[in-house]
Every structure is written in structure tokens, then in C-alpha cells.
């Protein structure tokens, strides 16, 4: 009986953890928007400043925008890999619980 209660508590904890990951995923979408937008705006304004001070055309602006794009995607990929690892571990735990309880899905 005690084992069954521990199993129920563990199951409840795992499902709550999955909900926290879903909420975190939503917040990550907002974070991704900021990761893309902030470096782009900085690159744009810095490029305009360099254009006005060096009269170099839009070369600096395009180089900085490209670099901010690459930097943003590198950050996003790293964040995705970390988050994906956590989600897969939680899904593995849920699958084990379902197999233990004899549930297909």
C-alpha cells in the first residue's frame, strides 16, 4: 500500500513537472523573440552610426545584421538543446510509469 502511494506521488510529481515544462516553453518563445530582436536593433543602430561617421555605405550595417542573426540563432540552438534534453528525460519517466501501470498511452 505504501508503495502504491509513493508511486502515485511520484506520478503526480512527474505530470506536474511536464506542466512546468509547457509553461517554460511559452516563456522561451518570448525569450526567443527578444534574442532575435535585441541584437538586430543594436546592429541596425550601430550600423547607421558607423555609416554616418565613416560614410562607408550600408556595408557595416549589413555585416552587423548578419553577425547578429548568426549569434541569435546560435543562442537559440543552445537553449533548445538544453530544453529538449530535459523534456526527453521527463517523457522517459512518464513512459516508465505508464509501462509500470500497464497503460498504453
Quick one: cell of 103?
497503460
Rounded to the nearest integer, the mean pLDDT of the chain is 84
**Other CB atoms within 10 A of residue 27 CB:** 9
State mean pLDDT over 72-88: 90
pLDDT bin (cut points 50, 70, 90) of residue 19 is: confident
Q: What does the alpha-carbon distance between residue 7 and residue 76 come to, in Å, rounded to a whole number?
A: 36
Nearest to 51 by CA among 64, 38, 39: 64
Query: Are residues 72 and 57 in contact, defined by beta-carbon separation less than 8 angstroms?
Result: no
In tens, the pLDDT along 66-79 reads: 999 999 999 999 98
- Matching residue, cell 512546468: 20
pTM reported for the whole predicted model: 0.61
**Distances in Å between the alpha carbon of 16 and those of 7, 20, 24, 43, 90?**
14, 6, 12, 41, 10
pLDDT of residue 5: 65
**Which pLDDT does position 39 carry in this prediction?**
92
> How far apart are alpha carbons 71 and 87 in whole angstroms?
25
How many C-beta neighbours within 10 Å does residue 52 have?
9
**What is the tens place of the pLDDT at every residue in 32-56?**
899 999 999 999 888 888 888 887 7
Predicted local confidence at residue 77, as pLDDT: 93
pLDDT score, position 3: 65
The rounded percent of the chain whose pLDDT value lies above 90 is 27
Question: What is the chain's length?
Answer: 105
Amino acid at each position: 500500500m505504501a508503495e502504491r502511494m509513493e508511486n502515485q506521488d511520484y506520478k503526480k510529481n512527474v505530470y506536474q513537472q511536464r506542466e512546468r515544462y509547457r509553461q517554460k516553453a511559452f516563456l522561451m518563445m518570448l525569450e526567443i523573440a527578444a534574442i532575435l530582436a535585441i541584437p538586430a536593433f543594436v546592429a541596425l543602430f550601430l550600423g547607421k552610426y558607423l555609416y554616418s561617421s565613416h560614410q562607408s555605405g550600408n556595408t557595416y550595417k549589413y555585416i552587423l545584421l548578419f553577425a547578429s542573426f548568426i549569434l541569435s540563432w546560435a543562442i537559440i540552438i543552445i537553449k533548445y538543446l538544453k530544453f529538449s534534453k530535459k523534456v526527453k528525460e521527463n517523457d522517459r519517466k512518464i513512459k516508465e510509469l505508464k509501462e509500470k501501470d500497464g497503460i498504453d498511452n
